[in-house]
């Protein structure tokens, strides 16, 4: 009887543990923060592990999180400001290191208004919380 209880306990412990659906690459939860004094419209983001249109972001505002399979520190971000397209440009992820299963914020700002060039800073918010 004692052997049976020990075996049952080990079996229950083994099968009751659930493993999160994470890999070293991700997923990564990404939100966008507009740190300019301009309103963004049609905010399109490509993280290297997927893309998403976040819609409109007012000056100084941020979006909710969107989950990507993976994300890299350098994202391709394209927005419309007063009817003109601004972008970070295409990113090369060939030798880039992915972020992993974390929550991050891409802070987007205008690097060069004349060239309509954006830049992105990344803020690591913390690990993804599974429910």
Is residue 81 assigned to a domain? yes
Residue partners of 2: CB distance under 8 A and separation at least 6? none
CA separation for the pair 7, 19 (Å, rounded): 22
Is residue 43 assigned to a domain? yes
Predicted pLDDT at 81: 98
**In the structure, what pLDDT confidence band is assigned to residue 12 with cuts at 50, 70 and 90?**
low
Is residue 33 assigned to a domain? yes
The answer to whether residues 79 and 86 touch, using CB atoms and an 8 Å cutoff, is: yes
As given in the structure block, the two tokens for residue 93 are 């992820």
Predicted pLDDT at 20: 59
Q: What is the mean pLDDT of residues 60-76?
A: 96
Is residue 38 assigned to a domain? yes
CATH number of the domain encompassing residue 55? 2.60.40.2890
> Is residue 116 over pLDDT 80?
yes
Domain count, the chain: 1
Is residue 5 assigned to a domain? no
Q: Domain of 33?
A: 23-127
Is residue 7 assigned to a domain? no
User: What is the sign, positive or negative, of the torsion defined by CA atoms of 93, 96, 101, 105?
Assistant: negative
Predicted pLDDT at 64: 97
Percent of the chain with pLDDT over 70: 84
Residue 55 DSSP symbol: E
Is residue 16 assigned to a domain? no
Is residue 87 assigned to a domain? yes
Q: What is the mean pLDDT of residues 7-17?
A: 60
**In the structure, what pLDDT confidence band is assigned to residue 62 with cuts at 50, 70 and 90?**
very high
Higher model confidence: residue 5 or residue 53?
53
Place of tokens 């690591």: 124
């Amino acid at each position: 009887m004692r052997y049976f209880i020990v075996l049952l306990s080990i079996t229950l412990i083994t099968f009751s543990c659930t493993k999160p659906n994470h890999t070293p690459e991700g997923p990564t939860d990404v939100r966008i923060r507009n740190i300019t004094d301009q309103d963004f419209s049609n905010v399109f983001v490509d993280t290297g592990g997927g893309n998403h249109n976040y819609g409109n972001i007012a000056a100084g505002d941020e979006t909710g999180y969107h989950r990507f399979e993976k994300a890299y520190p350098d994202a391709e971000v394209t927005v419309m400001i007063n009817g003109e397209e601004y972008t970070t440009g295409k990113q090369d992820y060939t030798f880039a290191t992915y972020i992993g299963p974390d929550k991050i914020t891409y802070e987007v700002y205008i690097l060069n208004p004349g060239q309509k060039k954006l830049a992105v800073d990344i803020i690591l918010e913390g690990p993804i919380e599974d429910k």
